[in-house]
A and B are shown apart, each in its own frame.
Chain A
Amino acid sequence: MAAPYAKLPKWVDYGLLPLINILVAFLISGLVVWLADESPLKAAGLLIKGAFGYGEGIGYTLFYATSFIFTGLSVAIAIHCGLFNIGSEGQAYIGGIGVALACLAFDSTLPWFLVFPIAIVGAAIFGALWAFIPAYLQAKRGSHIVITTIMFNFIAASLMIYLLVDVFKPDGTMAPQTRGFEVGGQLPRLDWLFGIFGIRTGAAPLNVSFILALLSAFIVWAIIWRTRLGYEIRTRGFSPTAAKYAGINEARVIIITMMISGGLAGMMALNPIMGDQHQMQLDFVAGAGFVGIAVALMGRNHPAGIIPAAILFGVLYQGGAEISFEMPNISRDMIVIIQGLVILFAGALENMFRPFIVMIFANLQRSGSSKALEAGE
């Protein structure tokens, strides 16, 4: 029967249960590795070695994590408002236009530290605008945001192919991409920072946008838990009816939240475009927007959880490359499975093990209190 779940200690609710869910997801991933005729234990060893075994691996891990922090935050802030934004992928893709425009306009005239802020604003604005339309339709016309953001992912993909092939591509070249950026459009690497700690990141494209990602995580935390807007967002997410009766302007909160969400997704574009490839290429988002869903669910929509979750997925991406090198059967697609399983167990099935844990704790408490009783007598 649907009795409300008994209250559990906080560390169980926010630590143990998510951990169990993630462990189950990884156990099943191991099963898939085993089905593909490889040893799951050896794969796990390769994963850790590839991600942490040497400086360059760490650099790549954090480079991938940078993108996932942005998209994870993007998904998370929308969830706090009760909105499921599947459109981070498309918003990040469109955000790339802002980065590319800023770099193409100023890369030969301004130094990077002046182009960077312009590119940040550009990325955020384009991402936010792409999220604005579904947000407006949800707020004013009641169109389901999940469906509209899915549709907008596909529309973004078509639009970007058109723009890259017919607008941004320099004449006389074949590849659908912008021209390469001059020094002004290239973000400095962070190898010097890690050099202080004796870690050589080598060729890894880890760059300044990693710091921006950490900063964004802090700002998102501040917005959600320390501002009036954040209070309104959480109220709307908890109960739209309560929010309405509290005099919160629902449409306004939905639109603002989605634009912040889209802006964060758009900023993800800085990392690959300005930080790594120094040009805008086709499909540069490469699924990072969808990874954001897994990251947000795994991090329980809290920035302090999202950063480690993003790093874990960074490990999977970087270590996964190492695995596919040693085990040709286990390609990058393995990560997609893990991503799906994490979303399944940390998201849709998050309460599957709860009754079991509640039972254990009830038993523990009973034996504890009976002991206390005996001691009292």
Chain B
Amino acid sequence: MPVPQQPDLTALPSSSSAQRAAAVLVGSGTSGATVDDGQVLRRRLPLSFWISAVFLAIIVLAAVTADWLPFVDPVEDYDPQALAAGPSGEHLFGTTSNGNDVLSIVVQGARTSLIVGLFAVALGFFFGGLLGLVAGYFRGWFDTVISAVIDILLAFPALVLALAIVSFKGPSLTVVTITLGILAIPAVARVARAATLQYASREFVLAARTLGASHKRVIFREVLPNVVIPMAAVSLVAVAVVMVAESGLAFLGAGVPADTPSWGSLMKLGQGQLDKGAAHICLFPAAALFITVYSLNTIGDTLRQRFDVGRGVL
């Protein structure tokens, strides 16, 4: 979300009145602005940012090292003595109705979700970013066409299309990733275009053009470096969005193959058990998804406020 620009107080003594400073200050108390020694207003990263960073680090670490951690196999190993059993010393998160270990599935599912999230976003940001960059830089008819196409594509319910494509193609990690990546392109292009517009008419870009730099050079040397930083903040939020979509698809039975552990399919499995005294099957992956999404959103949002990307579109 947008946050008022940092007050430009260097201009204060010359042309702006203290009134303007006052006006700017009313809105400046947003992101962790704290009153320090009573003389100077300071900003620092809020506590929620650090908590989120730690959460995310744990989840990523668990996903990466899952194979070396002493977990039972989430698919092969099952415990016939404990079907849909609640959390215990042996199974920290309990077991599924098939006797599989919920903790193992949650940890392995993190890997699935992260792979889909990262690769789909990489795909979406590469193509969407390029389109938005070019449209925002050149403006004119090209921009008009791209913007119209984006508007048209956004009219279609992305999740429904993803569901249809994945269902008809058959479940596969690659299909899910590519589908979600492609469906992210219009939204990403729109954000990238908006970010580019902010810079395309700035003095340094015009100066580079005037000095005879080619369009290609100006786009990649002058505009892109400025757009990349805010877009990186947006991409974290995008990873969260894609992970939610992936879980949603898996929950609808159209995600990754059945033998691939996934939060969404675990939740699907657990939904039927909600009222049978085994709510843990559904609630643990739900909690994992929530914590991951919350962390990504918080970090992305904090960075976005820092770099003041225009009104969030995602």
Asked if chains A and B come from one complex, the reply is: no
